[in-house]
Amino acid sequence: MSDHEVIVIGGGISGLMSAMTLSKHEKEVLVLEKSSRIGGNCNSYDVEGFQVDTGVHAISHLLVGPMRRIMDLYFDYVPVFMDLGPYYIRTHRGLTKVPSNLREFAFFDVLPKKDRILLSQTITIAFTQSTLGTNLKNQSVYNFIPKGLSQDSLDFIDALCYSLSGRSMKETSVHRILTGSSFMRDSVPENFWEDEVVDTSYKALLTDHFSMSQLKGHLSVLSRLANNEIGMSQKYPRKGLKAILNSVLYSMSDKVKITTSCKATSIITDNGTVKGVVTENGTYTADMIVYTGFVKDLPSLVTDLGQSYVQDLKDIVQTHSMTIWLGLDTKMSELNYIGSEIWFKPRAYWAMPISNYDQELAPPGKQLVGFTFIVDESVPLVEDKKRMYKTILEALPNIEEHIEMTHYQYTIPEKAAVTIDGYFADSRTPIKNLYLAGTDTDSRSMGITRAGYSVLELLKAMRDEGHI
């Protein structure tokens, strides 16, 4: 008899949501977290009176999507989410709203008119091809866009690619841009087909010609080309990112135990079936194990995964990010907006003045803003940090005299980047009863939404195998 029904390795948001949902299926669960704090990349903490998050966060697909589903089905407490507000492009002229659809794109004068016309045609082609079923997952943005665009337009497209995939336009797929910019859904809710979206007789007519899944894709794509609103279902949690973590913890049943400062060093198997976990603090046996650390590291924990599986895991691509949090002694007029901004020349950042959502995140009368950069691995980090700082000063020349707190966070935002050749693992592994969850086990959407997808896939796999 095992010590535990389920052991979850990793106490980030994927591990904790796995533990919480499994406990609601009457499983008794032990969570092992190597660090002294739980939450992983989904947390907030105090720095000199300012409450910073781990990176700047926009939580997406909250109206319909995996997190909505998990919250509805399993949470006892849900965070209060506030509308994220628009995305802006900052240039030396100030802020311009990022276009959500082709009509708005026509007026987006950050880019030259000639380029806008060329790019509108390209977007329409991408939509049409995607609607007709062409697989754009292997098609790089770089190869898809028209030749002869200005450097400004190329830098802009590159910045979008970095923010959506963590990689340049040469490694980002067209499919990623369409789904990541909310133009296309990467999934539909299970009740979509029951909704009164399409008249019943029309549904019957269409399904004579298309499969159900094809049809769902076509409808969502075509309507979005004209009406898309990027920010519509994106939100920021009141009281900061830790509000999401706290809601998961408050929703946990007493069937879950969490042990921190406890690193899993190997996973014990017998005859291809999982048996337990060896940690720095001792050995625990379990009927099932859910691993939510880096899947890339799995071969160092368990030996009999098989050569081809181990080979595939080597293709997981990761990107490092640096977030620079600045605590300001005043509220700057340049940052007087609700939403987030992108700067794209010569170096891209994505920034959010998060105390504008909630003044409690900064001391009274002060402001907190986070700037996230993708790290340039080709230069030493110290050098790159200086360049990032310089970029902030270039974008906001008045900011320096107001900085009273600077805090750097060096992180891996997603355990796997969605690049053209990047690999994603499945929730099942070659070892019986060893499962995976986390942002390297599902390529849909990003961040916490992707963590949500991975937990739903985990539950599905366990249900299929009769465990829950």
Ligand X SMILES: Cc1cc2nc3c(=O)[nH]c(=O)nc-3n(C[C@H](O)[C@H](O)[C@H](O)COP(=O)(O)OP(=O)(O)OC[C@H]3O[C@@H](n4cnc5c(N)ncnc54)[C@H](O)[C@@H]3O)c2cc1C
Q: Which residues within the stretch 283-312 sit at the binding site for ligand X (CB under 6 A)?
A: 292-293
Least Å distance, CB 272 to ligand X, is 21
Selected from 19, 30, 33, 444, the binder of ligand X by CB under 6 A is 33
The answer to the question of residue 422 lying near ligand X (CB under 6 A) is: no
Selected from 263, 320, 385, 467, the binder of ligand X by CB under 6 A is 263
Cα–Cα distance for residue pair 216/131, rounded to 1 Å: 10
Residue 402: how many other CB atoms lie within 10 Å: 17
Cα–Cα distance for residue pair 274/22, rounded to 1 Å: 18
The answer to the question of residue 264 lying near ligand X (CB under 6 A) is: yes
How many residues bind ligand X (CB under 6 A)? The answer is 37
The answer to the question of residue 245 lying near ligand X (CB under 6 A) is: no
Binding segment for ligand X (CB under 6 A), chosen from 57-65, 150-158, 214-222, 253-261, is 57-65
The string of DSSP letters for 250-314 reads HH--TTEEEE-S--EEEEEEETTEEEEEEETTEEEEEEEEEE-S-GGGHHHH-STT-HHHHHHHT
Beta bridge partners of 370: 325, 352
First-last CA distance in the chain: 19
Cα distances (Å, whole numbers) of residue 121 to 109, 116, 277: 17, 9, 55
Selected from 85, 166, 413, 422, the binder of ligand X by CB under 6 A is 413
Least Å distance, CB 285 to ligand X, is 16
DSSP, collapsed to helix, strand or coil, labels residue 94 as strand
Residue 90 has φ and ψ, to the nearest 5°, of -95, 130
Least Å distance, CB 400 to ligand X, is 23
Selected from 444, 449, 453, 468, the binder of ligand X by CB under 6 A is 449
Contact 367, 335 (CB under 8 A): yes
Q: 12: which DSSP letter?
A: B
Site map (CB under 6 A) of ligand X, residues 359-398, x = contact: -------------x--------------------------
Which of 233, 200, 203 shows the shortest CA–CA distance to 218? 203
Contact 51, 45 (CB under 8 A): yes
Binding segment for ligand X (CB under 6 A), chosen from 89-97, 225-233, 385-393, 445-453, is 445-453
Whose Cβ is closer to ligand X: residue 219's or residue 458's?
Answer: 458
Least Å distance, CB 262 to ligand X, is 7
The answer to the question of residue 414 lying near ligand X (CB under 6 A) is: yes
Give me the residues that bind ligand X (CB under 6 A), please: 9-15, 32-35, 40-42, 54-59, 263-264, 292-293, 321, 323, 372, 411, 413-414, 438-439, 446-449, 451
